[in-house]
């Protein structure tokens, strides 16, 4: 934790930030070791460029400070909202934050907390600190990779257990419920990275389908997008199966997506831009005549969040470095007919990006996946 804290201070210096204000969430936990959640009572961690830290929090959360991995001053408040501003003002005064640039996580900082922060330090400029806070967690430590590998094992075990229960006539919601239970039985944290996607037939052409009442039928594509969590670290996997025999074109796009996945995994390594991985998958799909049906980026970073940096898209020139983890998930989606996506979790190495996930990638009947 000490090294993480020092890394943050160096990144703040590079980006000319005098302080950061962090809501509960992955970055908060990454730095402090504490797990808190966003609720109607504000909680904000303040860290200055000089290395001082203070925490504004509800009084009822004070016992959690016993597990804090960094030293910080506590500024608790009672239930009466009229007293909350005083706690923020006291924290800024104690830390000596009167002016300068304060970075926040743009996707996590709420209007609630921002209002208290601005009132406590009217001389400060509150700016998007995402460049600092994303970079902080970008390269995974060995222990983080171990947890993510375990999350991948658990997710794959859970899918195989779920496939044993699948039958034509079941609804997507029923299959998704079985998968959630299987994830818990296999050892996932209670808080999953996201609710599993189970989509069938024409619904599989929607990349972010919500499991519904559609019943599984012969000739369907059956897509699973799911993940597990271990000590807060995620896996995120997609596999697509058939229910019996597929129409020839649906079988064909399955082969194209499989090859695009393989091409992107082969391209991924240290020293190349993220865009090159996207191009490896996208180019193959375009050459096969399905470019317009690949409607999203090739992947996204993975760690304490299911979606984080680096983002594997065609305009991202970020250079990949050892320890970065991201998904490779090309897809082809034919409206009204069905879609195929195949997603793996890879770790950047010097010469290659080994995959944490290893379930078969072919679009085969789901019953054969158990062989």
Which CA distances in Å does 145 have to 42, 140, 322?
Answer: 32, 6, 12
What pLDDT digit, counting tens, does each position of 272-281 carry?
A: 999 999 999 9
For 169-188, how does the pLDDT look when each residue is reduced to its tens digit (9 = 90+)?
999 999 999 999 999 999 99
Q: Please list the residues that pair with 124 across neighbouring strands.
A: 100
**Encoded tokens for 83:** 């007293």
**Burial label, 14 (beta-carbon count in 10 A; 0-12, 13-18, 19+):** exposed
- Alpha-carbon torsion (21, 27, 32, 38), positive or negative: positive
Q: Residue 1's pLDDT band (boundaries 50, 70, 90)?
A: low
Q: 31 with 5: CB under 8 angstroms?
A: yes
Mean pLDDT score, 97-105: 95
pLDDT at 67: 85
Q: Write the CA distances from 23 to 57, 131, 271, integer angstroms.
A: 10, 16, 33
In b/e form, how buried is each residue of 276-314, taking b as 16+ CB within 10 angstroms? bbbbbbbebbeebebeebbeebbbbbbbbbbbbbbbbbe
The answer to whether the beta carbons of residues 74 and 36 sit under 8 Å apart is no
- What are 129-182's pLDDT values in tens digits? 999 999 999 999 999 999 999 999 999 999 999 999 999 999 999 999 999 999
Say if residues 185 and 162 touch (Cβ distance below 8 Å).
Answer: no
Question: What's the pLDDT tens digit per position in 215-229?
Answer: 999 999 999 999 999
What is the arithmetic mean of pLDDT over 261-284?
A: 98
Q: Quick one: average pLDDT of 47-72?
A: 95
Q: Which of 115, 117, 85 is nearest to 101 (CA)?
A: 117
How many helices (H) does the chain have, and how many strands (E)? 9, 17
Instruction: Express each pLDDT in 298-345 by its tens digit.
Output: 999 999 999 999 999 999 999 999 999 999 999 999 999 999 999 999
Is pLDDT of 37 > 80?
yes
Candidates 261, 257, 241; CA nearest to 162 is: 241
Structural domains present in the chain = 2-136 (3.40.350.10), 142-370 (3.90.230.10)
- Name the DSSP letter for residue 70: S
> Which candidate, 268, 282, 178, 288, places its Cα nearest to that of 224?
178
Please tell me whether residue 332 adopts helix, strand or coil conformation: strand
User: What is the C-alpha separation between 309 and 319, in angstroms, rounded?
Assistant: 12
**Stretch 7-30: mean pLDDT:** 97
Q: Which residue has the tokens 């094992």?
A: 153
Give the span between the Cα atoms of 195 and 109, in whole angstroms. Answer: 23
For the chain, what is the mean pLDDT? Answer: 96
Mean pLDDT of 119-125: 95
CB of 168 closer than 8 Å to CB of 233: no
Cα distances (angstroms) measured from residue 110 to each of 22, 81, 128, 196, 200: 10, 16, 13, 27, 37
Radius of gyration of the CA atoms of the chain, in A: 23
């Amino acid at each position: 934790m000490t090294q993480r804290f020092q890394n943050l201070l160096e990144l703040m210096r590079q980006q000319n930030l005098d302080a950061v204000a962090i809501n509960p969430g992955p970055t908060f936990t990454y730095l402090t070791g504490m797990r808190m959640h966003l609720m109607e009572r504000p909680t904000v961690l303040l860290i200055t460029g000089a290395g001082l830290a203070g925490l504004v929090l509800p009084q009822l959360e004070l016992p959690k400070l016993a597990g804090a991995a960094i030293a910080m001053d506590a500024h608790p408040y009672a239930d009466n909202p009229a007293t909350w501003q005083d706690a923020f003002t006291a924290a800024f005064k104690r830390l000596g934050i009167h002016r300068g640039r304060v970075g926040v996580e743009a996707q996590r900082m709420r209007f609630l907390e921002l209002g208290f922060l601005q009132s406590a330090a009217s001389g400060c400029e509150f700016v998007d600190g995402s460049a600092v806070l994303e970079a902080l967690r970008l390269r995974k430590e060995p222990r983080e990779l171990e947890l993510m590998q375990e999350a991948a094992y658990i997710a794959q075990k859970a899918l195989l257990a779920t496939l044993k229960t699948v039958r034509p006539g079941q609804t997507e919601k029923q299959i998704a419920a079985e998968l959630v239970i299987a994830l818990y039985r296999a050892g996932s944290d209670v808080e999953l990275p996201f609710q599993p996607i189970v989509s069938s037939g024409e619904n599989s052409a929607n990349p972010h389908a919500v499991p519904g009442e559609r019943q599984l039928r012969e000739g369907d594509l059956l897509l699973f997008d799911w993940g597990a969590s271990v000590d807060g670290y995620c896996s995120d996997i997609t596999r697509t199966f058939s229910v019996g025999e597929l129409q020839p074109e649906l079988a064909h796009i399955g082969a194209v997506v499989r090859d695009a996945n393989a091409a992107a995994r082969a391209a991924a390594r240290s020293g190349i831009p993220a865009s090159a991985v996207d191009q490896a998958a996208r180019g193959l799909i375009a050459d096969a005549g399905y470019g317009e049906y690949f409607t999203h980026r090739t992947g996204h970073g993975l760690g304490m969040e299911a979606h984080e940096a680096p983002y594997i898209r065609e305009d991202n020139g970020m250079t990949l470095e050892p320890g970065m983890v991201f998904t490779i998930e090309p897809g082809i989606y034919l409206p009204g007919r069905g879609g195929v996506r195949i997603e793996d979790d890879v770790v950047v190495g010097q010469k290659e990006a080994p995959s944490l996930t290893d379930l078969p990638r072919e679009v085969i009947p789901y019953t054969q996946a158990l062989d």
